[in-house]
Amino acid sequence: MSTPTSKQRKAVLGKRQQLKMSESAHAYVRGNTVQFYEWLKSKSVQGSIPIGPDIWICGDCHTGNLGPVADVNGKIDIQIRDLDQTVVGNPAHDLIRLGLSLAMAARSSDLPGVTTALMMEDLIVGYISGLSGRLGKREPKDLEPIMSVVRAAKARHWRHLARERIEDLKPTIPLGTKFWMLTSEERKELDELFASGGLNPLVNCISGSEDDEKIKLMDAAYWMKGCSSLGRLRYAALIRIGTKKNPSYRLLDFKEATAAAAPSSKTSAMPKNSAERVVTGAQALSPFLGERMVATKLGRRPVFVRELRPQDLKFDLTKISQREAVAIARLMAGVVGRAHGRQMSRVQRQSWVRELRQRHSKGLDAPRWLWSGVLDLAALHEAAYLEHCRRYALGES
């Protein structure tokens, strides 16, 4: 595939997004956030979902947005890894979105329907444990799809990231299907940002230096990456830190920040600048990632920049067993609970737990609001996914 011009990008990215969302029902859920937000705002849902304390939430809490994340010292933890839609809002929204994603992952693995009920029960158990900082015991054999990725993350180094992302250890980014040539205006904006020193605090943090390091932009390209974010500004930049004789290289991810579509609190303040909102939310929810991010501007567009680390990986939740699915639901909910709980006072946590434990259904330990919400959303997304596939297959617009 030849590199598209700036005018051709929109059409190519739109087609790519359609293709990725057609891969499976689970992939469709990951790429379609709008339908979830519309459901949350519908009159039939209003009043049925409990309202927790105003805290930073992920806003798009699906399984693909959780995974191993490294801090600047290389320590690894499972945290939320994508914060584009982060807002100050209702923590229950993250639980429903995660529950839907887990249910669709089970469906894509061809697991029996009872699996979803079991997952929702363990989701609540894991979340409440995470709120209090107690994630409980883990059975390694039941979490092998998770632990195998964590082990791989711990064994990865810069050379693995370089070969995976830029295909070589040389300080260049090869153009092709993933990376496209920048326009002269885009390159100029990047050069001006580096020249201004706007990224120095981030580089000093990731390099561990208290002095301003010498930074050189070695190469940059437009990056076709993601699914729901395809079509926004996205650049990869390869930088050299230090001198030619003693260099180290880092790969930076530049991403345009747009207004959040996730419902937010009407009473709690958030940064008006979208890039600052994303970085602030990341620092609250995912400290390992938040410390590797900075908000800035390219031209007039707000962007957030993060350093990519070789340990940052996604989980592959295909072909999992029922036992694995249930254990993964508890683990992932615990990660979200821990991210929420660190923002709450003890009194807030206790009150929120009481609210979560209320309204259980007969014969089902998961709260009725969670079970009903996941059922409604699964049905809506299943129908929408099939229609999406039909339209894409027939080439309709």
Give 58-69 pLDDT, tens digit per residue: 999 999 899 999
**Range 4-32 average pLDDT:** 78
**Domain stop point among 283, 308, 333:** 308
Q: Do 188 and 267 share a domain, yes or no?
A: yes
The residues facing 250 across adjacent strands are 239
Alpha helices in 176-237 (DSSP H): 184-196, 200-207
Q: Do 193 and 285 share a domain, yes or no?
A: yes
Going by pLDDT thresholds of 50, 70 and 90, the confidence category of residue 210 is: low
Residue 92 has pLDDT above 70, yes or no: yes
Going by pLDDT thresholds of 50, 70 and 90, the confidence category of residue 28 is: confident
Q: Do 150 and 162 share a domain, yes or no?
A: no
The secondary structure element, H or E, covering residue 143 is none
Q: Do 105 and 218 share a domain, yes or no?
A: no
Q: Is the model more confident about 393 or about 24?
A: 24
Residue 75 has pLDDT above 70, yes or no: yes
Weakest mean pLDDT among 85-99, 281-295, 361-375? 361-375
Could you give the CA distance from residue 253 to residue 236 in angstroms, rounded to a whole number?
5
Q: Is the model more confident about 138 or about 21?
A: 21
Going by pLDDT thresholds of 50, 70 and 90, the confidence category of residue 396 is: low
Please report the pLDDT score of residue 160 as a whole number: 56
Q: Do 296 and 164 share a domain, yes or no?
A: yes
The residues facing 355 across adjacent strands are none
Q: Do 48 and 61 share a domain, yes or no?
A: yes
Q: What is the largest CA-CA distance in the chain?
A: 69
Burial of 375 (0-12, 13-18, 19+ CB in 10 A): middle
Residue 316 has pLDDT above 50, yes or no: yes
* Overall pTM surpassing 0.85 (yes/no): yes
**Domain stop point among 251, 279, 308:** 308
Q: Do 303 and 171 share a domain, yes or no?
A: yes
- How confident is the prediction for the chain on average, in pLDDT? 85
Q: Do 303 and 334 share a domain, yes or no?
A: no
For residue range 112-127, list pLDDT tens digits in order.
989 999 999 999 999 9
Residue 54 has pLDDT above 90, yes or no: yes
Taking the CA atoms of 286, 290, 292 and 293 in sequence, report the sign of the dihedral they define: positive
In a domain, 7, yes or no: no
Could you give the CA distance from residue 332 to residue 344 in angstroms, rounded to a whole number?
19
In a domain, 220, yes or no: yes
In a domain, 169, yes or no: yes
Could you give the CA distance from residue 80 to residue 160 in angstroms, rounded to a whole number?
22
Residue 168 has pLDDT above 60, yes or no: no
**Range 356-367 average pLDDT:** 70
Please report the pLDDT score of residue 163 as a whole number: 62
Number of domains present in the structure of the chain: 2
Q: Do 139 and 236 share a domain, yes or no?
A: no
Domain with 195 in it: 158-308
The answer to whether the beta carbons of residues 229 and 84 sit under 8 Å apart is yes
Please report the pLDDT score of residue 72 as a whole number: 85
In a domain, 11, yes or no: no
Q: Do 166 and 263 share a domain, yes or no?
A: yes
Going by pLDDT thresholds of 50, 70 and 90, the confidence category of residue 397 is: very low
**Domain stop point among 261, 286, 308:** 308
Phi, psi values for residue 296, rounded to 5°:
-155, -165
Q: Do 37 and 162 share a domain, yes or no?
A: no
